[in-house]
Structure 1
Amino acid sequence: MKKNWLLFFCIFSFTSLFAQTKISKNQELPRPKLVVGIMVDQMRWDYLYRFYNRYQADGFKRMLNEGFSCENTYINYIPTVTAVGHTTVYTGSVPAFHGITGNDFIIRATGKSMYCTEDPAVQTVGSSSAAGKMSPRNLLASTITDELKLATNFRSKVIGIALKDRGGILPAGHTANAAYWFDDATGNWITSTYYMPDLPTWVKQFNAQKLPEKYLKQDWNTLYPINTYAQSTPDNNPYEGIFTGMTTPTFPVRTSGLFSKDYSIIRTTPYGNTLTLDMARAAVEKEQLGQGEFTDFLAVSCSSTDYIGHKFGVNAVEIEDTYLRLDQDLANLFKFLDGKVGKGNYTVFLTADHAAAHNPKFLQDHQIPAGSWPGAAFEAELNKQLKSKYKVDSLVLGFENYQVHLNHLLISKNKLDEGAIRQDCIQLLKTKPGVAYVIDLDKVPQSTIPEILRQRIINGYHSARSGAIQIILQPAWLPGGYTTGTSHGAWNAYDAHIPLVWMGWGIQSGKTNTPTHMTDIAPTLAALLHIQEPNANIGQPITQALK
């Protein structure tokens, strides 16, 4: 009997010890040391493969071969513009909830235009210019970076970096340790008093290197012999814009002689991306990101791809060269992270805020239907017609974000019938060339439009920050003004199909053509990190990408 009790005691003790050991192990929640989000502004999905044969092994190819590519990722709202894209990636939500309805938007109650990150309550830090009077206060939802801070009781570090203020601020969220953006006047990285009263010493030291000037003095020539750029149109063609001070849109670009009063020209060269990733590496090293007990997050946006795309268009040698150079910059970044944080210790994802259309004249010259829509002229015509009927001028404030914004204050003051004004606007605009649909935004569910448009219009509509009427143009029609270069903003695949590639800690190797959405990125990160999704999230985790 005593032997049985002794045996029972030993078994019980061993089982208890095993259970305690298991619990102890489970207390160490597995997470990557660092998450790096890379937004490539205006990157079309097909750029992953259009230039694939020219990429080296350690940049885009490394991500595609080692990581997981979501090949069929779409933006599920309109308009497809920078501020909305950056916000949606990090909130998992859409303008209907997060409130960022464009780079600029008109507040319906006041009729005043608002820039997405403007904040007159803060001051510039790091410059005497007004470029730092920015913050995330106009963002109405939490970000995945906010949720990481909340999940770790604010012990994780979060830093956002981009040439564009909106590209650094909106991804970093409300609770970031810092967001930095580029000041054209000084060539320095700056921030605002929303984050800190003074720049950290390491940022001052980084600025003191005067890297923008050093890069611009090198001029911009092609990385490889120009006759090897077979994926591009001839260098001198009518579809590309020209730098002020030059007579043709051709290489070499003498950047050394094109900057004097400010450093804004670096935005429209590949050096802008190089400078951004230089700053990103400095932040990792000086802030010791990925070196602490808790997961840190670095949100980086490469903005120069957008400026270059707008000026030169989709098919330019300048675009091909930019992506070949970005490929090298990414390879250098990954090599740095391997050494500093440790290969397999960090997770990186790469995506875009939107893509871009072909130049309309380029398409027309190749027998593909396209056109240019002179919105400003139609706005003036519309106001003239409405004034004639209602005896009130400027009833239309603008066509911001492919929407008709009405002057609700004037309509109310003069006791006008807004419904009748909306119908008058719709009837006139429907007759204009290039217009596919004109939809009253109060009647979207009843509109006879394809379901894909209905959903994207609803997702993009915020009652306080959107217009009264949505304009949908025919495929490949761009707003007037883009006789050269290109733009974006539409629902079509050329603007809405974006890359999404994951690599590193917790990520499978492979790819999927299952449809995914921009809104799925934040909940996938939440699942990876075992934290709550952002508070307006509508996306779903991409489970195929996760180990």
Structure 2
Amino acid sequence: MKYILILAFSFLFSFQLSAQNKTEKKPKLVVGIVVDQMRYDYLTRFWERYGDDGFKRLIKNGYNFKNHHFNYVPTYTGPGHASVWTGTSPMNHGIIGNSWFNKFEDRFVYCAGDESVKSVGTSDDAGKMSPHRMKTTSVADQNRLFTQMKGKTIGVALKDRGSILPAGHTANAAYWFHGRNEGKWITSSFYMEELPQWVKEFNASDKAESYFKTWNTLYDIETYVESGDDINDFEGGFKGKSTASFPYDLDKLKKENGNYEIIKISPFGSDLTTDFAKAAIEGEELGQDEYTDFLTLSYSSTDYLGHNFGVNSKEVQDAYLRLDHNIADILEYLDEKVGQGNYTIFLTADHGAVDVPAYLQSVKIPGGYFNDVDFTEKLQDFVAEEFDEEGLIMNVSNGQVFFNYQILEEAGIEAENLEKTIAAYILKQEQMDKVITRSQLTSGSYTTGIRSLLQNGFNQRRSGDVIFVLNPATITYSRTGSTHGSGLTYDTHAPLIFYGAGVKQGSTTQRSEIPDIAPTVSALLGIAFPNGATGKPLFMMLDE
């Protein structure tokens, strides 16, 4: 009996130790994939057309958060990437737009722009970029700190902001694609003074140029029944081609469409990004030692395509069917180079997109277009007449009104009085849904609804004084193509899939939010949360 008990305790101890070791085993590489402008329903709408080795592999063997949302406004690329990786919203990380009006300098600033650094890999100013405007750390930063800078971080995206902001302040490198007449992957002196040899070799190859070819549908276009007609009135297209319809001869069209820039506005931009990401894994030897590395990978072409052709286009459908192949390619490469069970992936988006309002109108769904130039002129005239003072409004942009506080003070006008007057005027305008003021956002606390989203996107120092919200599916944009930025579900509902080491299989319809991603990765790695994190670890995936 005593012998049996000893065996039982021995077995139990071994089982617990094995479980503990399994839990504590960290991935050698974390790959965070952000698909620019990916709505959640692209997973479900095109599901039957996807292969088994891309999105389906992630979902069937990973954990799928089906009710995942952005918890702030505005839903743009810069704030999206920053929020995914910092675990907080613009309220704290400070990236309130792709660009925004800096009231202290009386000029617009770009979220990743930095005149204090130099371009590396090009003589163009396209490399004058850094994450210096992002006020908090990313989870990749925290991993660098935790490993005493031994774990690497490499950022890759066609867009500079899609590479720089996720990689954080301590990244070994962030690379982005400079198109135009060069077609090169570049970086900035924030990271290094010279491109590494593997990047030089990639740029010297014909990879980018090889994508100057004809873009036709991956499968028979007649089978693309999940999207609208190929020829319609709701798409932009390319200069030099009379219709926005397949096929597209990119080599023939490149001269009138920015040369290498045209690759970005095609699925071949995702192919090129995948090529470079694989080269980065090889060249930087990611996932090859005991310290966890990070690859922050953003697919930007899907956003360019959505803006050009719209979310219901055959072009967007084809882009996602091809992206499915890119995901499968990355997974196969990671299996080979890092090994199954040695890496963890998450895949999400930086925002969604609205159906083209002109299309919605054609099927009797409310939608419209807002002329911000006319609105600004009328607002300026109203305020000048109402207060008998010129220049009280410094700027109107990104759905925000900025006051000139110096003129307010000189004229003896109370800011709160101006807020209320402007808010009342704006709310009377056609196409306006809601208006909220700085005083309301700084003195109250909102936990639900659009006001909560506005508050989470409001940075006290950088944001404006009155914020207005347009009616649903009402945008400031051309009548062709889709855009984004609102707090409505077409912009906030994004995919989130975790896969690989430390991730159990399953799914949930419980609500999760974008700031939850970084704390979840931190919990999985056992490292500190990003220093401004407000999200929570997604326990349903992590807890046994």
TM range (shorter): over 0.9
1:96 matched to 2:96: no
- Residue 443 to residue 288, structure 1, CA distance change in 2 (3 Å): same
1:497 matched to 2:487: no
CA shift for structure 1 position 420: 2.9
- For 2:259 and 2:406, the matched residues in 1 are separated by 40
The amino acid across from 2:272 in the alignment is L
1:422 matched to 2:447: no
Paired position in structure 2 for 1:319: 316
- For 1:416 and 1:159, the matched residues in 2 are separated by 50
The amino acid across from 2:75 in the alignment is T
Once the two structures are overlaid, the 10-residue window that deviates more, 444-453 or 169-178, is 444-453
- For 2:365 and 2:305, the matched residues in 1 are separated by 24
- For 1:181 and 1:413, the matched residues in 2 are separated by 46
The amino acid across from 2:244 in the alignment is P
Extract unaligned runs of 5+ from structure 2. 1-5
- For 1:129 and 1:290, the matched residues in 2 are separated by 33
1:81 matched to 2:76: yes
SS in 2 for 1:198: coil
1:526 matched to 2:522: yes
- For 1:167 and 1:412, the matched residues in 2 are separated by 40
- Residue 392 to residue 188, structure 1, CA distance change in 2 (3 Å): farther
CA contact (8 A) 2:416 2:439 kept: no
CA shift for structure 1 position 226: 1.1
Q: Deviations over 1:223-271 (max 9, x none)?
A: 1111111011111100111211111111111211222364111111111
Once the two structures are overlaid, the 10-residue window that deviates more, 453-462 or 529-538, is 453-462
CA shift for structure 1 position 432: 1.4
1:290 matched to 2:296: no
The amino acid across from 2:516 in the alignment is D
2:326 aligned to 314, 329, 338, which one? Answer: 329
1:214 matched to 2:210: yes
- For 2:262 and 2:388, the matched residues in 1 are separated by 46
CA shift for structure 1 position 392: 4.3
The aligned runs of 1:83-482 (5 Å cut-off) are 83-185=78-180, 186-216=182-212, 218-260=213-255, 262-444=259-441, 451-479=448-476, 481-482=477-478
CA shift for structure 1 position 419: 2.6
- For 1:467 and 1:91, the matched residues in 2 are separated by 23
- For 1:541 and 1:280, the matched residues in 2 are separated by 28
Paired position in structure 1 for 2:3: none
CA contact (8 A) 2:446 2:455 kept: no
CA shift for structure 1 position 372: 1.3
- Residue 506 to residue 28, structure 1, CA distance change in 2 (3 Å): closer
- For 1:413 and 1:346, the matched residues in 2 are separated by 60
- For 1:450 and 1:233, the matched residues in 2 are separated by 38
- For 1:247 and 1:398, the matched residues in 2 are separated by 38
Percent of aligned pairs sharing the same letter:
43
SS in 2 for 1:472: strand
CA contact (8 A) 1:187 1:210 kept: no
CA shift for structure 1 position 59: 0.4
- Residue 413 to residue 206, structure 1, CA distance change in 2 (3 Å): farther
CA shift for structure 1 position 450: 8.8
CA contact (8 A) 1:37 1:300 kept: yes
SS in 2 for 1:241: coil
CA shift for structure 1 position 99: 0.6
CA contact (8 A) 1:101 1:466 kept: yes
Q: Deviations over 1:361-399 (max 9, x none)?
A: 111111111111212210111112222344544433443
Q: Deviations over 1:287-331 (max 9, x none)?
A: 110001201000000001001001111100000000000001111
1:540 aligned to 536, 540, 543, which one? Answer: 536
CA contact (8 A) 2:92 2:459 kept: yes
The amino acid across from 1:484 in the alignment is T
Superposition TM-score, scaled by structure 2 size: 0.93
CA contact (8 A) 1:163 1:276 kept: yes
CA contact (8 A) 1:107 1:464 kept: no
User: How many pairs are equivalent?
Assistant: 528
- Residue 28 to residue 527, structure 1, CA distance change in 2 (3 Å): closer
2:66 aligned to 58, 68, 71, which one? Answer: 71
The amino acid across from 2:329 in the alignment is N
- Residue 233 to residue 508, structure 1, CA distance change in 2 (3 Å): same
- For 2:82 and 2:396, the matched residues in 1 are separated by 22
Q: Deviations over 1:137-180 (max 9, x none)?
A: 10100110000001101100000011110000000000000000
Q: Deviations over 1:383-418 (max 9, x none)?
A: 122223445444334432222222334434544433
User: Larger radius of gyration, structure 1 or 2?
Assistant: 1
CA shift for structure 1 position 113: 1.4
SS in 2 for 1:399: strand
Q: Deviations over 1:309-358 (max 9, x none)?
A: 01111100000000000001111111111111111110001000000011
CA contact (8 A) 1:36 1:297 kept: yes
SS in 1 for 2:33: strand
1:510 matched to 2:502: no
- For 1:370 and 1:318, the matched residues in 2 are separated by 22
SS in 1 for 2:451: helix
Q: Deviations over 1:97-151 (max 9, x none)?
A: 1111111112233332111011110000000100000001101001100000011
- For 1:188 and 1:377, the matched residues in 2 are separated by 40
Paired position in structure 2 for 1:3: none
Paired position in structure 1 for 2:480: 484
Once the two structures are overlaid, the 10-residue window that deviates more, 468-477 or 415-424, is 415-424
- For 2:201 and 2:390, the matched residues in 1 are separated by 54
The amino acid across from 1:358 in the alignment is D
- For 1:318 and 1:232, the matched residues in 2 are separated by 9
SS in 1 for 2:507: strand
The amino acid across from 2:299 in the alignment is C
The amino acid across from 1:289 in the alignment is L
CA shift for structure 1 position 449: 8.9
The amino acid across from 2:44 in the alignment is Y
CA contact (8 A) 2:23 2:502 kept: no
- For 1:210 and 1:469, the matched residues in 2 are separated by 50
Once the two structures are overlaid, the 10-residue window that deviates more, 364-373 or 229-238, is 364-373
CA contact (8 A) 2:157 2:176 kept: yes
CA contact (8 A) 1:108 1:408 kept: no
SS in 1 for 2:297: strand
SS in 1 for 2:264: helix
CA contact (8 A) 1:92 1:538 kept: yes
Q: Note the aligned Cα RMSD (angstroms).
A: 2.3
